[in-house]
Amino acid sequence: MALHLVKLCVGIESAEQLQSYIEHRQIMALAAGLSDEQVHTTRMVPTRIDELLDGGSLYWVIKGAIQVRQKLIDVRVYQDENGRKQCDLVLEPHLVHTQLRPRRPFQGWRYLKPEDAPDDLQIAGPVTDIPEAMRKELQELCLI
């Protein structure tokens, strides 16, 4: 059964800003002749990697609520220059919008059980066509 991670998306104001940041990093990497692979580095190494790679995702907390997720492709463990373990979370570059789920601040990442993960948004048409404030309001009214 898949296991997920949840992490704060510090410095990002909206899911649209996060998607724009991802796309910008991909463009810059390709322009520099590097891989456009979407990687997030973390100092803590998960011990349940097999479960994470069995269909798990990284859920992003933006402005106090889980709003989007990215599917985990790989977890690469390595040692930094000081000999401390770290890992790269390799992610799909596109975001999947989820039902809003309030989440208090925390440090690092946390495991997220499948039964605790918010459902993906199921609406007709791309979610990105709806302004962020309107999407939140429609969701609070249970219209999407």
- Summarised one tens digit per residue, pLDDT across range 27-50 is 999 999 999 999 999 999 999 999
Classified as helix, coil or strand, 1 is coil
Q: Please give the pLDDT value at position 18.
A: 96
- Where b means 16+ CB within 10 Å and e means fewer, 46-60 reads beebebbbeebbbbb
Q: If you average pLDDT over residues 49-73, what whole number do you get? A: 96
Q: Please give the pLDDT value at position 133.
A: 78
Q: Please give the pLDDT value at position 138.
A: 76
CB under 8 Å to 8, separation ≥6 — which residues?
Answer: 60, 61, 105, 106
In total, how many domains does the chain have? 1
Residue range of the domain that includes 47: 4-140
Q: Please give the pLDDT value at position 130.
A: 75
Q: If you average pLDDT over residues 104-132, what whole number do you get? A: 82
Residue type, 23: E
| pTM, full prediction | 0.83
Classified as helix, coil or strand, 17 is helix
Cα distances (Å, whole numbers) of residue 101 to 67, 93, 120, 123, 129: 7, 22, 11, 17, 21
Classified as helix, coil or strand, 125 is coil
Q: Over the stretch 78-108, which tens digit does the pLDDT of each residue have?
A: 998 999 999 999 999 999 999 999 999 999 9
Query: At 25, phi and psi to the nearest 5?
Result: -60, -40
Q: Flag whether pLDDT at 128 surpasses 70.
A: no
Q: Flag whether pLDDT at 124 surpasses 60.
A: no
